């Protein structure tokens, strides 16, 4: 078996050790004579799996006791609807637009209820920076303030300093306004102060596990506000009261996510991962910035993402060639999102430093040949 250098944006690379264990246990989990996806979700085996996954996630993210952890379906896209269905309670919500995903969230919220555009950083169709959080016109009476803390397509990330600035700005201008964040593409990439948020959600298929699983971390006081007519399954309160098993959960995806959580713990947890992730990203940005303009990343240096690094080459023909030759050289997933073109390398936890080094060598060779 040969593993490619996988830089996919999601679904994305999973740790090889996790895949090997899942493969070995696929038709006989812990000697029970069946795979974990072949047994009742209410039985002892799976109940243990989901409880352990939750406990490990709570440990990794230091999730306080007054937060519920929900294992849901529908991806972050369904959260774009589920958040306003559950939290608006007849009010308006504030939306900050910093890229394609926060844009989608805003559009969906406006379909469900009242959503207000607080600010957008779009300039000529591009999203390259974060706003000055201190000067945002927060609505003190809003149901919540929504943002996407890592824009996968545009490569814009809210780093820890900016997160603190945002939190301080809200605390000053609109105390108590719940912060709601789509963290799909950088959750678990670094330590997180969950207490700053009312609700955090993330599709699993980037830094958590297989697609088909969405994790929601929600403060208990925000439960029980769902609008009348909300489908039973989409009411956070119902799912919280039923330990995410109002109906059959996506059992295999939860099991694999649990293995990923153990893999992260064995590697020293999120502080250790953050150091590795920062260094991986630093190496790649240095290669881009040091390429004499052959490779370019246009994002404001202060909010360049450590997870998703888009870059361009001189012309679309050369970019197409880069993709094609990279695939021939054993790389996967380097083509940029169709909406923005170019190249994109996603450096999630399971993308090891040696994969980045291999990419840097390939980029050097490609530039030498075509620069």
Residues near a copy of itself, by CB under 8 A: 1-4, 6, 8-14, 16, 19-20, 22-24, 26-28, 31-35, 37-43, 46, 73-78, 80-82, 85, 108, 111-112, 203, 205, 210-213, 229, 231-234, 246-253, 330, 332-333, 338
**Two structure tokens written together for 213:** 């699983």
- Is the Cβ of residue 82 or residue 98 nearer to a copy of itself in the bound state? 82
User: Does residue 206 have an active-site annotation?
Assistant: yes
Give the number of residues written for the chain. Answer: 371
Rg, the chain, Cα only: 21
**Structural contact between residues 267 and 60, judged by C-beta atoms closer than 8 angstroms:** no
Of the residues 139, 182, 235, 280, only one is catalytic, namely 182
CA distance 222 to 204: 23
CA distance 272 to 278: 10
Say what angle helices 269-289 and 353-370 make with each other, to 10 degrees: 10
User: Does residue 101 have an active-site annotation?
Assistant: yes
Phi, psi of 9 (to 5 degrees): -80, -15
**Structural contact between residues 46 and 40, judged by C-beta atoms closer than 8 angstroms:** yes
Paired strand residues for 181:
147, 200
**Structural contact between residues 344 and 150, judged by C-beta atoms closer than 8 angstroms:** no
- Is the Cβ of residue 73 or residue 120 nearer to a copy of itself in the bound state? 73
- Is the Cβ of residue 67 or residue 95 nearer to a copy of itself in the bound state? 95
**Two structure tokens written together for 80:** 């774009």
User: Does residue 221 have an active-site annotation?
Assistant: no
Of the residues 5, 94, 206, 263, only one is catalytic, namely 206
**Structural contact between residues 251 and 37, judged by C-beta atoms closer than 8 angstroms:** yes
Look at phi and psi of residue 72 and say left if phi exceeds 0, alpha if psi is from -120 to 50, else beta. beta
CA distance 371 to 366: 8
Catalytic residues, by residue number, are 101, 182, 206
């Amino acid at each position: 078996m040969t593993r490619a250098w996988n830089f996919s944006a999601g679904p994305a690379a999973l740790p090889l050790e996790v895949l090997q264990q899942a493969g070995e246990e696929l038709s006989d989990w812990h000697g029970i004579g069946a795979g974990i996806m072949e047994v009742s979700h209410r039985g002892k085996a799976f109940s243990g799996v989901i409880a352990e996954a939750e406990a490990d996630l709570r440990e990794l993210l230091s999730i306080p006791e007054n937060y519920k952890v929900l294992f849901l379906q529908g991806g972050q896209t369904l959260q774009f609807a589920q958040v306003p269905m559950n939290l608006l309670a007849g009010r308006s919500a504030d939306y900050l637009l910093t890229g394609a995903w926060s844009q989608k969230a805003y559009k969906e919220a406006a379909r469900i209820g009242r959503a207000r555009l607080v600010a957008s950083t779009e300039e000529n169709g591009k999203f390259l920076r974060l706003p000055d959080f201190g000067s945002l016109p927060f609505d003190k009476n809003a149901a919540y303030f929504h943002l996407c803390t890592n824009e996968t397509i545009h490569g814009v990330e809210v780093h820890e300093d900016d997160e603190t600035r945002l939190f301080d700005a809200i605390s000053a201008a609109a105390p108590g306004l719940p912060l709601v964040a789509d963290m799909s593409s950088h959750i678990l990439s670094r330590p997180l102060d969950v207490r700053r948020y009312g609700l955090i959600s993330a599709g699993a298929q980037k830094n958590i596990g297989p697609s088909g699983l969405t994790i929601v971390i929600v403060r208990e006081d925000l439960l029980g506000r769902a609008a009348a007519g909300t489908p039973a399954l989409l009411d956070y309160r119902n799912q919280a009261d039923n330990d995410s098993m109002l109906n059959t959960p996506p059992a295999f995806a939860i099991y694999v996510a649990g293995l990923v959580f153990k893999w992260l713990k064995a590697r020293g947890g999120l502080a250790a991962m953050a150091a590795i992730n920062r260094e991986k990203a630093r190496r790649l940005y240095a290669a881009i910035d040091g390429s004499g303009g052959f490779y370019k990343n246009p994002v404001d240096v202060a909010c360049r993402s450590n997870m998703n690094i888009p870059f361009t080459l001189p012309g679309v023909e050369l970019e197409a060639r880069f993709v094609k030759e990279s695939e021939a050289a054993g790389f996967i997933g380097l083509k940029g999102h169709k909406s923005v073109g170019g190249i994109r390398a996603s450096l999630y936890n399971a993308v090891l430093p040696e994969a980045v080094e291999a990419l840097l060598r390939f980029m050097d060779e490609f530039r030498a040949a075509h620069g």
